[in-house]
Chains A and B, each alone.
Chain A
Amino acid sequence: EVQLLESGGGLVQPGGSLRLSCAASGFTLTSFAMSWVRQDPGKGLEWVSAIGGSGGRIYYADSVKGRFVISRDISKNTLSLEMYSLTAEDTAVYYCAKGDRSNYKEGRLDNWGQGTLVTVSS
């Protein structure tokens, strides 16, 4: 059974940093693309970042490019999102989601974690 468990969310001051983690089980990260999708409270979904199964192709939304870094620890089967220079606009629930294939430019997100809330406020 596929499971995704996010952690690392919390309250951070504007300009601060945070690292989110997503522990994956039931499959191997090297076989599937993984994405981070965020949702402002009461708002819609925004695709934030993605990494292909091979690890060689990475995507960032313009809103986070240069501030967020997606990575994987294959030995721990864990996906991470390092977030820097955070602003109030980054306040959201962050979900990690598994793609159904290795290429993040195709396919569906067939499994989602429960989400972790990031609040940027002074």
Chain B
Amino acid sequence: QSVLMQPPSVSGAPGQRVIISCTGSTSNIGAGSDVHWYQQFPGTAPKLLIYDNSNRPSGVPDRFSGSKSGISASLAITGLQAEDEADYYCQSYDRSLSGAGVFGGGTKLTVL
């Protein structure tokens, strides 16, 4: 079981908005650790999508946004497109694990 909890799957129609949640605890997200999000297509390496809770690396469309509150974080995707279909992982650091990096279990986004 992952330290950070994500829904296994979410889906939405093209043009819609979907939100992927990432729930941690008071030893990671709730302790102030930043949350980062990665996008992964089948057979490829993960790619940084959102960093420091809400920042987009250069080249990431502004359809992708992130937020954090309390022990949870969220990734929102607006104007859903077929090419957004991928796996999404949240990541943070856990102070109870000697500050080790931890990932969510991943969420499969299906564009209907």
Contact = CB atoms under 8 A, between A and B. Distances in A.
Interface of A: 35, 37, 44-47, 50, 59, 61, 95, 100, 104-115
A107 B92 CA distance: 8
Interface string B20-50: 0000000000000010101000001111100
A115 B40 CA distance: 13
Contacts of A115: 45
Contacts, number: 60
Interface of B: 2, 34, 36, 38, 44-48, 51-52, 57, 89, 91, 93, 98-106
7 contacts: A35-B101, A46-B103, A50-B101, A95-B46, A105-B93, A108-B36, A110-B48
- Of listed B2, B38, B45, B105, residue having the most chain A CB within 10 A: B45
Contacts of B34: 106-108
A37 B103 CA distance: 10
Contacts of A44: 2, 89, 103-106
A103 B110 CA distance: 35
B44 to A, nearest CB: 8
Given A105-B93, A109-B91, A45 B103 contact: yes
B100 A45 contact: no
Given A45-B91, A50-B101, A105-B99, 16 more contacts: A44-B104, A45-B89, A45-B103, A45-B106, A47-B103, A59-B99, A61-B100, A106-B34, A108-B51, A108-B52, A108-B91, A109-B48, A110-B48, A110-B51, A110-B57, A114-B44
